[in-house]
Structure 1
């Protein structure tokens, strides 16, 4: 029995030896547990804030970084530049005191006439430059054209025609004309011209680079106009539609001479220092009335509007 079982044991032992040899040569059998290695394949665009920095603003973080000695990048605030018009008035015209009231035959009127002749030399040189770029410019016809442009611009302002107003005034003049006109009604009319408009000043400044010329012409206008401003409740704030007033104005028109498609537009208005002060604006306030029931009318209550009490204001 023992002799017969010996070959079977030997064969079994050989099989176990072969299996152990295969196990030593096969790494999968040696490492039955597979190990996973995390690999970063996607970029994280959000980085969580540090501890204690969640409720702080970027300004406070920059201030703390400056205190710690870190160099913070300098911020540059850029502003758009418009080259279709200048940002101001170059060598503005100073109107003589008492204009439109002094006679040319009086002593003061002759002095003003002599001073204007002395200052007209620079204007003549500027007019010569303007004619080189604008061959249709004429000193005799241009004042009447400027007056027509002035009337069209103010008519577009009263009609709230923004597209037409942009084509008649420069980008500097537009904010000054529309500022404070919200919730208001304007009534303006040009009655007549008391004196023919005339050209009194001309300059040809440069901007950004040499040769980039702009023409600025000052026109004196003495006319009669009507103006009335109503608030959002329809109450009169300033002026009167039926009473015309004599107005003496010095308007400045500008054109980009280098641009072949440029045209003359309103740019600014000169207010002399000796001009009389403007009339005060009548401000209106809404007084709360009685609370009405659905079946009541205000006229039936005979409600008297209370008058405001006098208040002494101190500086």
Structure 2
């Protein structure tokens, strides 16, 4: 009886073992690998930078090779620079102001030398003015100088009022970032008081860009005027200048126009700052003065506290 029961159960046992082996193979049971804990030591190995660069290059090359083998093509990156055809990227053949302009008399020896140099530079300017008149028949040196001064005043009024739309119509795309840079958290107060000398055209050039015949007119206007400028920081404290004290300002403005564009306009393109110009006035910055250290339960009494004065610091060049 026992032998017959064993014979009957043996096939069932073999079938159950076979099913368990198939289930283990399907689950792909893997035994965990031994866990290695790194031990820190005080020894440090020096790796030269050349080997690091080579390792990075080989890694990037391997990655590129793998992507190409997979069927993906990596687009090559180019360092592109945007070009704006509405204006040029700078001032062509900038005007060199004579040293001591608006101070020296034309009757002195140095004044006569500078006068002769200006006459020599004026020959190239006359040729440029002729080219400008071919595309702008109404252009004259006397009327344009007055128009340039009006453009200068309107552009600075738009800058103080933060009128971006009007400012874009009065200055070029090269001049706009130079005028608005750093003025986000500041308040500007500017005023044109009077003109000390009538503005005049001192320099003119007519360069072409990209292709021959794509002409741009650049005219330099000398303007000697009296202005007031005051710059306040975001806390309302004066950083530079004064609203009540006018100052004499000698400026050389460069205006530009795309001549072959029938709808082009003369716009402010930049300024020429001579090398002999005096240094700018330093900017007064707002700093935080530390208050008294209060103990728990104490109150700050403003009348009994004296503001500490800054210590004298010796600066060395």
Q: Measure the CA separation in 1 of the matches of 2:177 and 2:236.
A: 24
Q: Displacement, 1:78?
A: 2.5
Unpaired segments ≥5 residues, structure 2: 1-54, 69-73
Match of 1:194 among 181, 193, 196: 196
Q: Displacement, 1:110?
A: 1.4
| Equivalent residue, structure 1, for 2:156 | 154
Unpaired segments ≥5 residues, structure 1: 1-59
| Equivalent residue, structure 1, for 2:50 | none
Q: How does 1:27-176 map to 2 (within 5 A)?
A: 64-66=59-61, 70=65, 74-176=76-178
Query: Is 2:257 aligned against 1:255?
Result: yes
Match of 2:271 among 269, 272, 286: 269
| Between 249-258 and 132-141, the greater mean CA deviation after superposition | 132-141
Q: Measure the CA separation in 2 of the matches of 1:297 and 1:109.
A: 69
- Please give the secondary structure, in 1, of the residue aligned with 2:176: helix
Q: Deviations over 1:58-93 (max 9, x none)?
A: xx9875033799597632132321100000000000
| Between 151-160 and 102-111, the greater mean CA deviation after superposition | 102-111
Number of equivalenced pairs: 255
Q: Measure the CA separation in 1 of the matches of 2:191 and 2:241.
A: 12
Q: Displacement, 1:304?
A: 2.1
- TM-score between the two structures when normalised by the length of structure 2: 0.74
Q: Measure the CA separation in 2 of the matches of 1:144 and 1:291.
A: 61
Q: Measure the CA separation in 1 of the matches of 2:214 and 2:299.
A: 69
Q: Displacement, 1:297?
A: 9.4
Q: How does 1:282-297 map to 2 (within 5 A)?
A: 282-289=284-291
Q: Which has the larger radius of gyration?
A: 1
For the structure 1 residues 217 and 63, does the alpha-carbon distance in structure 2 shift closer, same or farther, using more than 3 Å as the test?
Answer: farther
- Please give the secondary structure, in 1, of the residue aligned with 2:142: coil
Q: Measure the CA separation in 2 of the matches of 1:246 and 1:63.
A: 64
The two structures, once aligned, show a CA RMSD in angstroms of 2.6
Q: Deviations over 1:153-205 (max 9, x none)?
A: 00111111111111100000001001111211111101000000000000001
Q: Displacement, 1:309?
A: 2.8
